[in-house]
Amino acid sequence: MPTARQALLDATLKALDDGPWRTVRMVDVAARAGVSRQTLYNEFGTKDGLAGALLRRAADGYLAGVDRALTAPAPDRPAAVALWTVRAARQDVLVRALLTGHWPDGLPRPDCGPGARGRTGGGLPPAPAELLTLVRDRMVAVSPEVTAARCEIALRLALSCVTVPVPGDRRRGQPRAQARKGRGAGGGSGGPQWAEPDSWRPITPMITREIDTSFSVETTSPRKTMP
């Protein structure tokens, strides 16, 4: 059984299917979750607190997927993380925004207001550089033979696939309103917003090949953190 908090976050995602964040009402979220409005306010304090919790859950869901990808055999871990990053960002517009820093109209934002931390505590979701640094550090921790610079290369390749359209990548179906429909990366219910295109199938060998090519040249990164 989902907790009241989980049910409320799931209900918020469903509300975003029907309209932009500015039109989402707390009373409607509570009704969708089948709880009292007071329960909603007890959990999140304000609408800003609800937004912050929703974004933190999306970030946590993405990082949980990174941890799963890191169970791949050692040589394949950078490519596995890169592939997961592409899939998570394509399936969940909140994850995409958290990774890129680009927030389309209609989405809750991490800087939505002073109440975004929520009544129950917890920090704001990480900024893109912070999120990618967390991923890089996880990769290095489980594969000490892979340098931080090499992990950054894998992540940069993944983000290039997220931000630059893949030739032949036609998104199938249209999301309702302006909102997100896919929730696979953020921990909610429902399927992906778009079916994965056939053109993604060669992405793993492509990333692996590019990583290997980059690794064959001895380079060092002057940066300590992701830009």
3-class secondary structure, 219: coil
Whether 181 shows a pLDDT value over 60: the answer reads no
Rounded Cα–Cα distance for residues 149 and 146 (Å):
8
CA angle 40-44-50, nearest 5°? 95
Helix ranges, 77-202 (H) = 77-91, 93-100, 128-142, 148-163
Whether 138 shows a pLDDT value over 60: the answer reads yes
Task: Report the Cα–Cα distance between both ends of the chain, in Å, rounded.
Answer: 41
| Amino acid at position 104, single letter | P
Query: Residue holding tokens 């609408």?
Result: 47
Rounded Cα–Cα distance for residues 104 and 100 (Å):
11
Share of the chain above pLDDT 90, in %: 44
**Of 77-81, 91-95, 115-119, which range is least confident?**
115-119
Superfamily assignment of 4-215 in CATH? Tetracycline Repressor, domain 2 (1.10.357.10)
Whether 21 shows a pLDDT value over 70: the answer reads yes
Per-residue pLDDT at 110: 81
When pLDDT is averaged across residues 125-145 and rounded to a whole number, the result is: 91
The more confident residue out of 219 and 214 is 214
| Amino acid at position 119, single letter | R
When pLDDT is averaged across residues 96-122 and rounded to a whole number, the result is: 74
- pTM for this entry: 0.74
Rounded Cα–Cα distance for residues 87 and 89 (Å):
6
Whether 184 shows a pLDDT value over 50: the answer reads no
**Contacts with 164 (C-beta within 8 Å, 6 or more apart), sequence order:** none
Per-residue pLDDT at 9: 95
Assign 211 a pLDDT band (cuts: 50, 70, 90): low
Residue 115 CB coordination number (10 Å): 16
Per-residue pLDDT at 221: 42
User: By CB neighbour count within 10 A (0-12 exposed, 13-18 middle, 19+ buried), where does 157 fall?
Assistant: buried
The more confident residue out of 104 and 85 is 85
CB 18 within 8 A of CB 106: no
